[in-house]
Amino acid sequence: MVVILILNSSISFAQIAPRTKAVFEQAPATVTFSSALLEKSFQYVPGSYAQISFQPNFQFSGRVISSVKPYDNLQSIAIESVRYDKAILMISRQTHADNSITYTGRIMHPQSTDGYEMKRDAKGNYSLVKIETTTVLQQCL
């Protein structure tokens, strides 16, 4: 019985991939950009190659792995990076009743200690702000 318990614990521990690297260590802490850039990202289809130049010093490119529109007013796209160790850029676009549009998004990697979260200021300007995933996300056991 003890052997089974030890084996079960060992297997469970082996399946948890600790966050040990900073994928975006060399990238800027904050990246500002226009909503027009986000709108262009929704032209890509799954399987195609996407390249988004947020700023001259921060580009995100890779294969579109998902593009879904579950509701008339909501669309999401996911892009897997070729440069940042297969990190995923996820952007969602929501159209409100007054036809205004807001975007949300993140760039995450499951083993990374850092990532980005999309923020919008009071004037409607967008930016990606670097986050420490070890303090924001919890490991699933």
3-class SS string, 119-134? EECCCCCEEEEEEEHH
Whether residue 6 lies inside any domain: the answer is no
Binned at pLDDT 50, 70 and 90, residue 10 comes out as very low
For residues 59-72, average pLDDT: 96
Q: State if pTM tops 0.85.
A: no
Instruction: Please count the structural domains in the chain.
Output: 1
Whether residue 118 lies inside any domain: the answer is yes
Binned at pLDDT 50, 70 and 90, residue 20 comes out as confident
Positive or negative torsion for Cα 23, 85, 87, 134: negative
Whether residue 12 lies inside any domain: the answer is no
Binned at pLDDT 50, 70 and 90, residue 7 comes out as very low
Whether residue 141 lies inside any domain: the answer is no
Whether residue 5 lies inside any domain: the answer is no
Question: What pLDDT shows up at residue 17?
Answer: 56
Distance (Å) of CA 56 to CA 23, 31, 33, 53, 140: 19, 10, 11, 7, 36
Whether residue 110 lies inside any domain: the answer is yes
Given a cut of 60, whether residue 43 has pLDDT beyond it is yes
Given a cut of 80, whether residue 53 has pLDDT beyond it is yes
Q: What range defines the domain where residue 52 resides?
A: 19-136
Whether residue 43 lies inside any domain: the answer is yes
As a whole number of angstroms, the distance between CA 121 and CA 130 comes to 16
Given a cut of 80, whether residue 59 has pLDDT beyond it is yes
Whether residue 128 lies inside any domain: the answer is yes
Binned at pLDDT 50, 70 and 90, residue 1 comes out as very low
